[in-house]
């Protein structure tokens, strides 16, 4: 935050205003007072001068009016001089009598006696004489540097006749000095009161600005997220109330901030722990938020995604603009599948809007739909497989039955073979349906394993013997069985089916003969069974798929051999139900080995007697 400049601070402003107000008030009062005082002092001075001048004028007029004869002891000038000589006054410097012809007749100042009989050069005298009116001026005495009041006053007006004028010089400096003195005292008073005002102003301003700057510091601290600071409350005035309100505001802010923070954390943890992916955009469709699940699903990093357009992130830039996505009501499937790996996401869109309808952004929820899609695909494939498997024998049977109905039944040579075909096809269909039933029962876990303890070497060998007796090919059976007794708990019927299918496969897919090896190895907690042939083998890429339902490496051939492709699928389910595992190793043209394991517990010797 900016610092407040010195002259802009309330502190200084307040003191300045305060001082200015006092100064103006003092100035007005002082001026008025000084003027009044000056007026009064001057008036008093003038009145006292006037009084005395009137007295002098009376005596002078008498002398001037008096009729004189030649034997009078004193001339007019001598008697006037006598009148003025008797006049003594502290503030009046000199009084002169001047006749109408501007000739000085007498003066009270003895050092100026030489001027008697001379013509007065003073301007004021001539003017007063000429106009027969009193005059007054104040001038500066050159010698003493004192201000001197000069007054003239016409004397002896009988009718209109003016005998002369009375001229007076009075020292008025004392009056001015008095005024100056008072002004000085006034100025001193103003200075003292101003100093007191400044000090008081500073103190008062401080009491006002201190809480304000305290609040300012608090606001700065709050902006930095520090809510622990409190404003000091100095009193219960408006400032104090403001400080209390400010502290209250701080508390409220802190509370709401912490609740927003905890909400934010909650939301963040919800977003992060969601298995669904969530992406939020701004109003221009650029990604502003994305959770880890979404990044994982899209196989992208956060840096690559943030601020990029949502449609390109979802790989939809060809089909949809951001405006289109806002309008989308249903979910969109995003197909990121690779050749051998299906990967399908489902995206649901919802628009965040203000009350006014203004679009704030888009929220996209991603859901991994691959499993669902896989299941759907498998189901479709399964239905098509089943219908296909059933249609082939049915169409064969129809054509044979049509031929029979068309009269072939009468032909004793063809009829039995035709009937034989329909019979094998029917058996094939029954086998297929039975296999499907078996699988469906295993899928719904609607079966019981009738487990019993058997010695596996013996059990295995009995099955191998059965095949050995009935075999029609040139194959060698090689037994690599265990020398010790291996007791396992199995459902012998189901295990027989498993081994039947594996061994019959080995025979079926080794048309050119060769060896078939049967092995059992034992480890601590399971036994491993192996059936290996020297047959045609399976292409490397398809080895895993032979356990899938209806999978046949070579469709035409295995159908010709009567296979439906369900044998190993059933075997796998059964082995799984026993808690074991099954897999195959194969090399095309060289042979195939099927392995499976069964749980086994190593028993102490002698326990079995």
Residue 94 binding: pick among ligand ATP, Mg ion, none (C-beta 5-8 Å cut-off by kind):
none
Residue 345 binding: pick among ligand ATP, Mg ion, none (C-beta 5-8 Å cut-off by kind):
none
Residue 393 is a binding residue for ligand ATP (CB under 6 A): no
Judged by CB under 6 A, which of 280, 535, 574, 595 binds ligand ATP? 535
Residue 566 binding: pick among ligand ATP, Mg ion, none (C-beta 5-8 Å cut-off by kind):
ligand ATP
Judged by CB under 6 A, which of 11, 151, 163, 552 binds ligand ATP? 552
| CB of 494 vs ligand ATP, minimal distance in Å | 15
- Tell me the DSSP string of 395-449: HHHHHHHHHHHTTGGG-TTHHHHHHHHHHHHHHHHHHHHHHHHHHHHHHTT----
| CB of 349 vs ligand ATP, minimal distance in Å | 45
Q: How far apart are CA 452 and CA 7, in angstroms?
A: 104
Judged by CB under 6 A, which of 91, 554, 585, 588 binds ligand ATP? 554
| CB of 474 vs ligand ATP, minimal distance in Å | 17
Select 173 or 533, whichever has its Cβ closest to ligand ATP: 533
H helix count then E strand count, the chain: 15, 17
| CB of 569 vs ligand ATP, minimal distance in Å | 6
Read off the tokens for 590: 């060289």
| CB of 564 vs ligand ATP, minimal distance in Å | 4
Select 164 or 567, whichever has its Cβ closest to Mg ion: 567
Query: Cα–Cα distances in Å, from 31 out to 35, 183, 439?
Result: 6, 9, 122
Q: Reading across the β-sheet that carries 147-155, which strands appear in turn?
A: 104-107, 92-99, 164-171, 147-155, 135-140
- Tell me, by CB under 5 A, how many residues bind Mg ion: 3
| CB of 542 vs ligand ATP, minimal distance in Å | 8
What is the footprint of Mg ion within residues 544-573 (CB under 5 A)?
A: 567
Judged by CB under 6 A, which of 311, 369, 501, 597 binds ligand ATP? 501
CA 282 to chain centre: 14
- Tell me, by CB under 6 A, how many residues bind ligand ATP: 23
Select 98 or 502, whichever has its Cβ closest to Mg ion: 502
- Tell me the DSSP string of 267-278: HHHHHHH-SSEE
What is the footprint of ligand ATP within residues 515-534 (CB under 6 A)?
A: 533
| CB of 518 vs ligand ATP, minimal distance in Å | 13
Judged by CB under 6 A, which of 246, 509, 526, 596 binds ligand ATP? 509
Judged by CB under 6 A, which of 456, 567, 574, 580 binds ligand ATP? 567
Contact status, residue 389 vs residue 417, Cβ threshold 8 Å? no
Judged by CB under 6 A, which of 64, 106, 506, 543 binds ligand ATP? 506
Residue 546 is a binding residue for ligand ATP (CB under 6 A): yes
Q: How far apart are CA 584 and CA 572, in angstroms?
A: 11
CA torsion through residues 183, 188, 194, 197, sign:
negative
Select 308 or 466, whichever has its Cβ closest to Mg ion: 466
Q: How far apart are CA 575 and CA 449, in angstroms?
A: 11
The 3-state secondary structure of 493-540, one letter per residue: HHHHHHHHHHHHHHHHCCCCCEEEEEEEEECCCEEEEEEEECCCCCCH
Q: Which of 239, 249, 230 is nearest to 206 (CA)?
A: 239
- Tell me the DSSP string of 574-589: HHHHTT--EEEEEETT
| CB of 573 vs ligand ATP, minimal distance in Å | 11
Stretch that binds ligand ATP, among 59-67, 163-171, 335-343, 549-557 (CB under 6 A): 549-557
Taking CB atoms, the residue at the shortest distance from ligand ATP is 567
| CB of 581 vs ligand ATP, minimal distance in Å | 17
Contact status, residue 170 vs residue 151, Cβ threshold 8 Å? yes
Judged by CB under 5 A, which of 281, 505, 586, 597 binds Mg ion? 505
| CB of 436 vs Mg ion, minimal distance in Å | 15
Q: How far apart are CA 585 and CA 577, in angstroms?
A: 22
Q: Partners of 158 in the beta sheet?
A: 161
**List of residues 6+ apart from 411 with CB closer than 8 A:** none
Stretch that binds ligand ATP, among 24-32, 395-403, 417-425, 558-566 (CB under 6 A): 558-566
Residue 201 is a binding residue for ligand ATP (CB under 6 A): no
Q: What torsion, rounded to 10 degrees, do the Cα atoms 216, 218, 220, 223 define?
A: -140
CA torsion through residues 115, 120, 124, 126, sign:
positive
| CB of 566 vs Mg ion, minimal distance in Å | 8
Read off the tokens for 409: 């039944």
**List of residues 6+ apart from 514 with CB closer than 8 A:** 475, 476, 533, 534, 535, 591
Q: Partners of 106 in the beta sheet?
A: 97
Binding site for ligand ATP (CB under 6 A): 501, 505-506, 509, 533, 535-538, 546, 551-554, 558, 563-569, 592
Binding site for Mg ion (CB under 5 A): 501, 505, 567
């Amino acid at each position: 935050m900016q610092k407040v400049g010195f002259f802009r601070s309330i502190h200084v402003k307040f003191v300045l205003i305060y001082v200015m107000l006092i100064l103006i008030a003092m100035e007005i009062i002082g001026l008025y007072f000084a003027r009044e005082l000056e007026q009064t002092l001057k008036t008093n001075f003038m009145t006292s001068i006037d009084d005395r001048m009137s007295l002098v004028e009376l005596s002078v007029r008498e002398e001037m009016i008096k009729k004189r004869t030649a034997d009078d002891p004193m001339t007019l000038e001598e008697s006037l001089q006598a009148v003025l000589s008797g006049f003594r006054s502290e503030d009046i410097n000199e009084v002169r009598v001047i006749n109408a012809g501007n000739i000085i007749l007498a003066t009270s100042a003895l050092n100026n006696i030489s001027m008697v009989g001379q013509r007065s050069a003073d301007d004021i005298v001539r003017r007063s004489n000429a106009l027969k009116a009193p005059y007054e001026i104040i001038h500066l005495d050159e010698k003493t540097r004192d201000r001197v009041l000069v007054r003239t006053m016409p004397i002896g007006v009988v009718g209109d006749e003016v005998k002369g004028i009375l001229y007076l010089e009075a020292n008025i400096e004392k009056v001015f000095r008095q005024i100056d003195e008072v002004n000085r005292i006034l100025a001193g008073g103003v200075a003292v009161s101003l100093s007191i005002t400044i000090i008081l102003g500073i103190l008062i301003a401080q009491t006002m600005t201190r809480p304000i700057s305290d609040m300012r510091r608090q606001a700065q601290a709050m902006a930095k997220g520090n809510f622990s600071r409190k404003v000091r409350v100095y009193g219960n005035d408006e400032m104090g109330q403001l400080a209390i309100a400010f502290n209250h505001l701080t508390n409220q802010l802190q509370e709401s901030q912490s609740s927003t923070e905890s909400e934010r954390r909650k939301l963040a943890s919800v977003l992060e722990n969601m298995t669904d992916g969530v992406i939020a955009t701004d109003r221009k469709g650029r990604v502003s938020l994305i959770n880890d699940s979404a990044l994982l699903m899209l196989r992208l990093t956060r840096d690559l995604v943030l601020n990029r357009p949502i449609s390109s992130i979802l790989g939809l830039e060809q089909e949809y603009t951001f405006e289109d996505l806002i309008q989308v009501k249903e979910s969109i499937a995003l197909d990121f599948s690779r050749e051998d790996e299906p990967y399908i996401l489902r995206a649901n869109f919802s628009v965040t809007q203000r009350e006014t309808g203004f679009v704030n952004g888009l929220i996209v929820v991603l859901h991994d739909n691959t499993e669902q899609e896989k299941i759907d695909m498998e189901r479709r494939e399964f239905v098509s497989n089943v219908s296909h498997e059933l249609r082939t024998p049915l169409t064969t049977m129809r054509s044979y039955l049509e031929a029979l109905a068309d009269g072939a039944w009468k032909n004793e040579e063809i009829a039995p073979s035709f009937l034989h075909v329909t019979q094998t096809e029917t058996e094939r269909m029954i086998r297929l349906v039975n296999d499907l039933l078996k699988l469906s029962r295993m899928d719904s876990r609607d079966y019981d394993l009738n487990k019993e303890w058997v010695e596996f070497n013996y059990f295995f060998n009995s099955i191998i013997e059965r095949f050995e007796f009935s075999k029609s090919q040139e194959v060698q059976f090689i037994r690599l069985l265990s020398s010790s007794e291996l007791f396992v708990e199995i459902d012998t019927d189901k295990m027989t089916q498993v081994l039947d299918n594996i061994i019959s496969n080995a025979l079926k897919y080794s048309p050119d003969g060769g060896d078939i090896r049967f092995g059992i190895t034992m480890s601590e907690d399971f036994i491993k069974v192996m059936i290996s042939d020297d047959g045609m083998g399976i292409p490397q890429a398809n080895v895993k798929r032979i356990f899938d339902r209806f999978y046949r490496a070579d469709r035409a051939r295995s159908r010709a051999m009567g296979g439906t492709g369900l044998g190993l699928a059933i075997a796998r389910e059964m082995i799984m139900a026993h808690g074991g595992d099954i897999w195959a190793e194969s090399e095309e043209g060289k042979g195939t080995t099927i392995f499976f394991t069964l749980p086994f517990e190593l028993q102490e010797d002698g326990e079995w007697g």
